[in-house]
Structure 1
Amino acid sequence: MPAEPLKPQAATAHRVPARRYGAVAMTLHWLLALMIVTSFSVGLYMGGLPFSPLRLKLFNWHKWAGIAILGLTALRLLWRLSHPPPPLPACIAAAMPGWQLVAHRGTHLLLYLLLFAVPLAGWAYSSALGFPVVWLGLVPLPDFVPVDKAFAEAVLKPLHQGSAFALGAVVLLHAAAALKHHFIDHDGLLDRMWPFSHQGHAR
């Protein structure tokens, strides 16, 4: 006698969890990575330039990128909350020391905090200097704080720069850990977020 087909409830219960991130999560991840690296590089470069039209142009682009990073981070967080990421494979989680698991979760939390803190501090810094943020030269954004140049230079500038360097350090640590898993451990962990992997991904 042929076996009865699984009922919808049973099929759902036996569904295998996705092993990889979905296309939307991957797109947001790599777009954010590109924006962070580019914005950080421009910030370093323009900091050494004398006051000039080029520096003003780069300063505006840097602000636009920061607002884009802020929006993409909010979108990515909302997507992550509504589409939980695939869990670590049991074999990988079992092989990782406890401190690595804590560092794995802590790094992701710190990344999100800094991805919000850096552009918000930059927005506040620009507002306090009296330079409004007009995103892409088209969308005027409200001033984040009142104009106060002394406060901007004494507090907001070092806050923005310090948090940006902290973000850069965490991103490097995150990338180094991913490369270590790929080239040393050979555990396929990087394939969960790598869009060119041969494995299929979730929607």
Structure 2
Amino acid sequence: MILKNTDDRWGPISQLLHWLIVLLILGLGVVGLVMVELPKSPRYFWVYDLHKSFGLSVLALVALRLAWRFIAGAPRAVAGTPHWQERVASITHWLLYALTFAVPLSGWLYDSVSGLRPLRWFGLFKVPKLADPSQALKPLVRDWHEWLFWALIALVLVHAAAAFYHHLVQRDATLTRMLPRRRTTSPASEIR
């Protein structure tokens, strides 16, 4: 099994990181929108701590994904793709990386300037603060975190729409090359 990306498709490590980050972002988004309405209770703090721990996990996974992309490369554009679409896709991918990095980083910074109790990543170890507490910066950084999240969601929707456009209208391999290959059955396995 080839782990690296090839000229025509993303490899299994890139696929795993892509879909894991997608799932985590979706979960974090839902939880982030719901948790602000929770009453201040032990559950509230538990949900916030989980949100922060998963957010830091996304930050680490994005760093890993970027490192892997530099090591494994990226597939070439599907044959016949206009140059302008290649450029837009490339810019979109790099903006997605930047925003996927910036959202959890801004959340970490918000936790830092909020002056809340120390964050422990899944209760295992203390996460250092990025800045000193600041009541002046707190609302600004909170707003950054929120606006970066909405920008990420908007770009993800554009990215997904483009993938489905390629799959359903263009009928090319743009989407399927980020999906695991289907196993083909050999004639010997069909005999029982």
- Pairwise TM-score range, normalised by the shorter structure: 0.7 to 0.9
- Displacement after TM superposition at 1:185 (Å): 1.4
Deviation above 2 Å: which 4+ runs of structure 1? 196-199
Letter in 1 for 2:173: G
Q: State TM-score, norm by structure 1.
A: 0.83
1:151-183 deviation digits (Å, cap 9, x = unpaired): 112x11000011011111111111111111111
Query: Percent sequence identity over matched residues?
Result: 39
1:107-165 deviation digits (Å, cap 9, x = unpaired): 11111111111111100111111122210111111111101123112x11000011011
Partner of 2:190: none
Partner of 2:68: 79
Choose between structure 1 and 2 for higher RCO, CA contacts under 8 A separated by at least 6 residues.
1
Whether the 8 Å contact between 1:182 and 1:190 is mirrored in structure 2 is yes
Partner of 1:150: 136
Distance in 2, Cα, partners of 1:50 & 1:63: 18
1:130 aligns with 2:119: no
1:119 aligns with 2:104: yes
Q: State TM-score, norm by structure 2.
A: 0.87
- Displacement after TM superposition at 1:198 (Å): 5.8
Distance in 2, Cα, partners of 1:48 & 1:97: 46
Partner of 2:50: 61
Distance in 1, Cα, partners of 2:48 & 2:141: 16
Distance in 2, Cα, partners of 1:83 & 1:193: 14
Distance in 2, Cα, partners of 1:198 & 1:165: 37
- Displacement after TM superposition at 1:52 (Å): 2.1
Of the candidates 179, 186, 201, which is equivalent to residue 164 of structure 2? Answer: 179
Question: Which protein is bigger by CA-based radius of gyration?
Answer: 1
Letter in 2 for 1:192: R
Partner of 1:11: none
**What is the count of residue pairs matched by the alignment?**
178
Whether the 8 Å contact between 1:129 and 1:147 is mirrored in structure 2 is yes
